[in-house]
Structure 1
Amino acid sequence: MTELRGFDSKKFLENFDSVYKLRPQVEQLADRLSNNKYKNIIMIGQGGTVLNWSPVAIYLRHLANIPVYVENAAEMILKKDLRELTSESLVLTNSVSGDTPEILDAVKYVNSKGVSVYGLTGHEDVPLAKLLKDPIYHPVGGTDGSYLLYYMLTLRLYHNFGFFSDYDHWADQMANLGKNLLKFREQFDDRAHKIAEKYYNAPLTMLVGSGMTWNPVMLFSMCILEEMQWVRTRPVKSSDFFHGPLEIVDNTLPVFLIKGEDEYRPLDERVERFIKKFTNKVEVIDSKDFIFDGIDDKYRVMLSPAIFSSILDDRLAYWYHMYRGHDLDFRRYYRQFDY
C-alpha cells in the first residue's frame, strides 16, 4: 500500500467498509418502499449533494422510463407550484451534517404537502433526522460512500420493479469498490502533484466534461477549487464548448478535460482534438485509465463519478492545498455568519 500524503488509507478503508455494512438496512428500506407505486422520483440536494444525486438520476433514466427529477433545495422552496410533487412521488435527500438550511426547508415543504421524505444523514440527533422517515445514518460522510448508498437504495428499488435484474451481483461486487478507489488515488497521486505544481496559481482554469462526468466536474470546480481553494474556474460542458468558450482558449489558459465512457465521449474527444492544437496547457484525465479489480466493466459508466471524486476531490485537491498554502477547511464566508 502506497503511503499518500495527507490521507489515512487505513481509515478510508474502514470508513468505506462501515458504509458497505449499511447494505442490509438500505435494502430493507428499498424493499419496504417497493410496496408502493411511484409515478416519479424526486432527489433533493444543495450544492455538492445536487451534484452527487445528478449522475445517479442520469443512470436511472437509462434503466426505465420513470421520471427522475433532481431539485436544488433553495430553488424548490421558492416554486409556487411543484407539479411533479404528488402523493405518488418518492422523495429522497441527503445531508451528512443534517443542518443544511435549504435542505431542511425543502423537506419541511414536502412534508407540509403530506409526502414523506426518505434519505441519509449523519446522526439521529441532527435536525434532518427528525424530518425524514426511516432515515439511514452514515456519519463518516464522503462523496465515495454517498454514491454507493444512493445507488444501493435506488438500484435495489429498480431491481424490485424489474428494471435492474443483476442487483445482487452488482451489490456483491461493490464490496471491492473501496480498495479500488484507494488504488486509483495511489495511481493518480504523482500526476496530481505535477498538475497542481504547474497550475495552482493560474488566474483562470477551464474544466470540461459531459454526461456522467459533468457533475463531478462541477463539484470539483465549485466545491473544491472555488470554495476550498479560492481558485477561479470556468466549468464548461463538452456540448457547449464550441459555442463560445473555445474563443478564450490560448496558451494562458489551462484546460482540464475530464473524459468519461458514456455515450457523450465523442463530444469529449472533439474538445480534446481542438485544445491540443490551440493551447499547450492541457490535462486530459480519462476514466478509461483506471481499471477496476473485482468489478465488471459493465458497471464502469455508473461508477465513473466515483473515480473522479477519488482522484480530483481528494488527491488533486490535496496538492492544490499544499501549493497554495490554503487550508481545505478554511472559509471566508461559507457558514461563517448569516447571509
Structure 2
Amino acid sequence: MKPEHAAQIATVIEAAKARDIKNVYFVACGGSMASLSFGEYFISKETEVPSFVYTANEFIHRNPKGVGENTLVILRSHSGTTPETVAAASFAREKGALTVSISMEAESPLCQAAEHIVHYNYKDGSDAIDGEVGIFYTLIFEVLNVLAPNEKYKRVVAQLPKVGELIEKNIEQFADAANEFGKKNKREKIIYTMASGAYIHHAYSFTSCLLMEMLWIHSNAIHSGEFFHGPFEITDYDVPFLVVKGDGASRPLDERALDFVQKFSDKVEVVDIETLNYGGIDEDLKEYFGPALTGSVLRLYADALAEHTGHPLSVRRYMWKMDY
C-alpha cells in the first residue's frame, strides 16, 4: 500500500477512536454497495456494534434515527460522482456522523462531501483491482480492530499485500472453467445466481452489474437460505444456475440448495470458495480473504459470456446516454 493511502486510513482510524462509535452504516449504489456489504458482514459477525447497508437514496429518504455523532458512515462510488451517494454523504455529515468516502477520484464530489477520504489510483493503473481491494479491506479490518480489538485483524492487514498475487493465481486457476461456462451458456436468456453469507453480495453484484447491466441477461440473486421458500419452484432441467458455494458458517445452506438444483437441472455451475488458492494466508484467516478473491473469479465468468456472445461488457442502452 502506498504511504498516502496508509496515511488516509490512519486518519480515519484516529477519528473513529475519538468518536466512541456506536453503529456503522455502509452507503452506496450498485456494485459499490455490494463491495461495502462485506464490511457490514464482518462487523455484524465479529462485533456487538450494529451495522447496516443502505442504497444511497433510501438512506436519505428513510432517515435512520440511529445516525448521529457516534455513527460511522462509509460511502463508496468508483467515479465519485454518483449523485445519490454524494447527497447521502452530505446528509450524513449534516447529522453529525463521521463520514468516510472511498473513490478513485480524490477530488470527486463524493470525496469533497465527506469529512475523510480513502482513494485508490485505479485510473492510472497504479493500484488496479488488487490495490483497490487491499485498500478497502485494510480500512475495514482496522475499523474492526477499533470496535473489537483482536490480534487476528492485525494479521489480516499484514497479509493483505498478498492479495494481488493471489488474485492472479486464482484467475489462472479458474480461467478454463469460466471459458467453458461462457461457451455452454452463450445463448441463455436467463441465468440465476445463488449464494449466502458474505457471498450473497457477490451474487448480487454478478447478477445486477454483470449479467443484467453489462450483458443484458435476465437474472436474480437468490439467497441459498431462501431458495426453498419460493424460488426453487422455477428449477427445471434447462434452467441455468451459477452457485457460489461459500466457506464459513453458511456453507451448509449452499450445499442444501446445490444438492437440489443438481438433481433437477442439467445446467449448474459451481464456484467452490474452498478450492480457491490461499497460498501464504494463515489457516484461521482464510474466511476473511475469500470475499476479497471471489470478485475477480466471478468476473471471469462474465468475461467469458461476453466473449462467446459477442456482447462487450462496455455496451449500454441507457447508462451514460441520457438523464434518468
**Structure 1-normalised TM-score?**
0.89
Deviates more, 1:294-303 or 1:113-122: 113-122
Q: Which runs of 5+ in 2 are unaligned?
A: none
Residue of structure 1 equivalent to 2:68: 86
- Written as runs of structure 1 = structure 2, the 5 A alignment for 1:31-110 is 31-79=14-62, 81-110=63-92
In structure 2, do the counterparts of structure 1 residues 114 and 267 end up closer, same or farther at CA, with 3 Å as the change threshold? closer
- Written as runs of structure 1 = structure 2, the 5 A alignment for 1:81-160 is 81-140=63-122, 144-160=130-146
Task: Render the CA deviation track for 1:73-110: whole Å, top value 9, x for unaligned.
Answer: 0211222x421111111111111211001101111212
Residue of structure 1 equivalent to 2:303: 318
Q: State the alpha-carbon separation in 2 of the partners of residues 330 and 56 from structure 1.
A: 30
Q: How far 1:144 sits from its partner (Å)?
A: 5.0
Residue of structure 1 equivalent to 2:267: 281
Paired amino acid for 2:283: D
Residue of structure 2 equivalent to 1:5: none
Q: How far 1:297 sits from its partner (Å)?
A: 2.3
Paired amino acid for 2:44: R
Paired amino acid for 2:196: S
Q: How far 1:21 sits from its partner (Å)?
A: 7.3
Q: How far 1:32 sits from its partner (Å)?
A: 3.5
Q: State the alpha-carbon separation in 2 of the partners of residues 30 and 98 from structure 1.
A: 22
Q: State the alpha-carbon separation in 2 of the partners of residues 233 and 263 from structure 1.
A: 26
Contact 1:287 1:307 in 2 (8 A): no
Q: How far 1:28 sits from its partner (Å)?
A: 3.9
Deviates more, 1:144-153 or 1:297-306: 144-153
Residue of structure 2 equivalent to 1:236: 222
Residue of structure 2 equivalent to 1:221: 207
Contact 1:121 1:137 in 2 (8 A): yes
Task: Render the CA deviation track for 1:190-244: whole Å, top value 9, x for unaligned.
Answer: 1100000001221211111111110101101110111011111122111111122
Match status 1:272 vs 2:255: no
Residue of structure 1 equivalent to 2:192: 206
Paired amino acid for 1:54: S
Contact 1:30 1:154 in 2 (8 A): no
Residue of structure 1 equivalent to 2:153: 167
Match status 1:296 vs 2:279: no
Q: Partner of 2:101: helix, strand, or coil?
A: strand
In structure 2, do the counterparts of structure 1 residues 306 and 124 end up closer, same or farther at CA, with 3 Å as the change threshold? closer
Q: State the alpha-carbon separation in 1 of the partners of residues 34 and 183 from structure 2.
A: 27
Contact 1:226 1:233 in 2 (8 A): yes
Residue of structure 1 equivalent to 2:291: 305
Residue of structure 2 equivalent to 1:3: none
Q: Partner of 1:258: helix, strand, or coil?
A: strand
Q: How far 1:175 sits from its partner (Å)?
A: 1.1
Q: Partner of 1:34: helix, strand, or coil?
A: helix
Residue of structure 2 equivalent to 1:334: 319
Q: Partner of 1:76: helix, strand, or coil?
A: helix
Deviates more, 1:188-197 or 1:82-91: 82-91
Q: Partner of 2:18: helix, strand, or coil?
A: coil
Contact 1:212 1:301 in 2 (8 A): no
Contact 1:207 1:234 in 2 (8 A): yes
Q: State the alpha-carbon separation in 2 of the partners of residues 114 and 169 from structure 1.
A: 33
In structure 2, do the counterparts of structure 1 residues 36 and 113 end up closer, same or farther at CA, with 3 Å as the change threshold? closer
Contact 2:206 2:298 in 1 (8 A): yes
Deviates more, 1:223-232 or 1:86-95: 86-95
Q: How far 1:298 sits from its partner (Å)?
A: 1.8
In structure 2, do the counterparts of structure 1 residues 71 and 128 end up closer, same or farther at CA, with 3 Å as the change threshold? same
From 248, 261, 266, the counterpart of 2:247: 261
Q: How far 1:146 sits from its partner (Å)?
A: 4.2
Q: Partner of 1:202: helix, strand, or coil?
A: coil
Q: Which has the higher contact order (CA 8 A, sep 6+)?
A: 1
How well do the aligned residues superpose, as a CA RMSD in angstroms? 1.9
Q: State the alpha-carbon separation in 2 of the partners of residues 43 and 147 from structure 1.
A: 16
Q: Percent identity at matched positions? A: 28
Contact 1:58 1:212 in 2 (8 A): yes
Structure with bigger helix share is 2
Deviates more, 1:98-107 or 1:142-151: 142-151
Q: How far 1:60 sits from its partner (Å)?
A: 1.3
Deviates more, 1:87-96 or 1:135-144: 135-144
**Structure 2-normalised TM-score?**
0.92
Q: Which runs of 5+ in 1 are unaligned?
A: 1-16
